[in-house]
Amino acid sequence: MTAQNSDTQIELLHNIIIKDLQALGEQSAYKADADEIDPRYLSYGVRAPEMKRFISQIKPELKTLERNQKIELAGRLISSGFGEQKTVALAILEREANYFTPERFKLLDEFIRGLCGWSKIDAYTGLFLRQILKSHEADLIKLLKSWNCDDDLWLRRASVVLFTRQVARSQQYIDVALANCETLIHDKEHLVQTGVGWCLRDLMRWHKKEILPYVINLRANGISSKITLYALRDIKGDERKEILGKK
């Protein structure tokens, strides 16, 4: 297939996706696919259940693409600004994680800067970057460190929420995760703070001996309750009452 034919195929499929998503949006009672605060985030109003059905329907067309075409299409979908197009892109990328070797990490950075919303950042880390972490641990951790102090709040959030869920359960990254959380404990952005709290909560499930004293110390030093109360969500009963009663 020539480059021109390849571009035409991608363009045609992208236009079909746009048209179909616009039609679904017109039938939706919602204004957006998720409650997002970033003004750059656009949406047709197609919520998750309908998006799952839509992605299932277009999988046969996506399978006809070569790998480089899939990556190109994912980039176009992300750069559109529309949340639903980004969701399709993430569905594509999740199946192509092994394409992203360290020499292609520039694309990881490019893609994440186009996501602009917690719903997509959390999917990008939980469904996609988690796979890359297994294969290219040192290089991805280095990239996460750069995101950890980035001006973009979504990159800062990504630098900690990657270490939630299955990654926290693996019990392999406590030192890196804690270091990234520590950098952000004074962050002013609500969704960065909740990202830190979420990370600490999930780490505590497997490393309570190390994490609980750390969270108690944050609380004693006046760190935002958005972080500490989120981190303490799994602590119940008398133990919780005792911790919250400490000044």
Q: Please report the pLDDT score of residue 94 as a whole number.
A: 96
Cα–Cα distance measured from residue 185 to residue 209, given in angstroms and rounded to the nearest whole number: 20
The answer to whether residue 83 sits within a structural domain is: yes
Same domain, 149 and 246: yes
pLDDT tens readout for residues 177-228: 999 999 999 999 999 999 999 999 999 999 999 999 999 999 999 999 999 9
Torsion angle (degrees, nearest 10) of CA 111, 159, 174, 127: -30
Same domain, 135 and 245: yes
Q: Please report the pLDDT score of residue 127 as a whole number.
A: 87
Mean pLDDT, residues 83-108 taken together:
97
Helical ranges in the chain per DSSP H = 3-27, 48-63, 67-79, 83-94, 105-112, 118-123, 130-135, 137-148, 153-161, 165-170, 174-183, 190-204, 208-220, 225-231, 237-245
The answer to whether residue 175 sits within a structural domain is: yes
Q: Please report the pLDDT score of residue 164 as a whole number.
A: 98
| Three-state secondary-structure class, residue 42 | strand
- Token reading at 74: 């994912």
**Cβ atoms of residues 121 and 158 within 8 Å:** yes
Confidence check: pLDDT of 247 > 70:
no
Mean pLDDT, residues 217-244 taken together:
95
The domain containing residue 46 runs over which residues? 1-95
Same domain, 50 and 142: no
Confidence check: pLDDT of 231 > 60:
yes
φ/ψ (deg, to 5) at 131: -70, -40
With cut-offs at 50, 70 and 90, classify the pLDDT of residue 5.
confident
The answer to whether residue 205 sits within a structural domain is: yes
Same domain, 87 and 133: no
The answer to whether residue 17 sits within a structural domain is: yes
Same domain, 90 and 136: no
Same domain, 87 and 138: no
Q: Which residue has the higher pLDDT, 31 or 127?
A: 31
Mean pLDDT, residues 126-139 taken together:
96
Mean pLDDT, residues 21-29 taken together:
97
Q: Please report the pLDDT score of residue 1 as a whole number.
A: 57
The answer to whether residue 13 sits within a structural domain is: yes
> What is the per-residue burial (b if ≥16 Cβ within 10 Å, else e) of 181-203?
bebbbebeeebbbbbbbbbbbbb
Confidence check: pLDDT of 15 > 80:
yes
Same domain, 184 and 73: no
Cα–Cα distance measured from residue 230 to residue 215, given in angstroms and rounded to the nearest whole number: 10
Q: Please report the pLDDT score of residue 6 as a whole number.
A: 76
pLDDT tens readout for residues 36-87: 999 999 999 999 999 999 999 999 999 999 999 999 999 999 999 999 999 9
Torsion angle (degrees, nearest 10) of CA 180, 186, 187, 190: 110
pLDDT tens readout for residues 146-180: 999 999 999 999 999 999 999 999 999 999 999 99
The answer to whether residue 119 sits within a structural domain is: no
Number of domains in the chain: 2
Same domain, 139 and 234: yes
With cut-offs at 50, 70 and 90, classify the pLDDT of residue 245.
confident
Q: Please report the pLDDT score of residue 2 as a whole number.
A: 61
Which 8-state DSSP code applies to residue 118?
H
Mean pLDDT, residues 225-246 taken together:
93
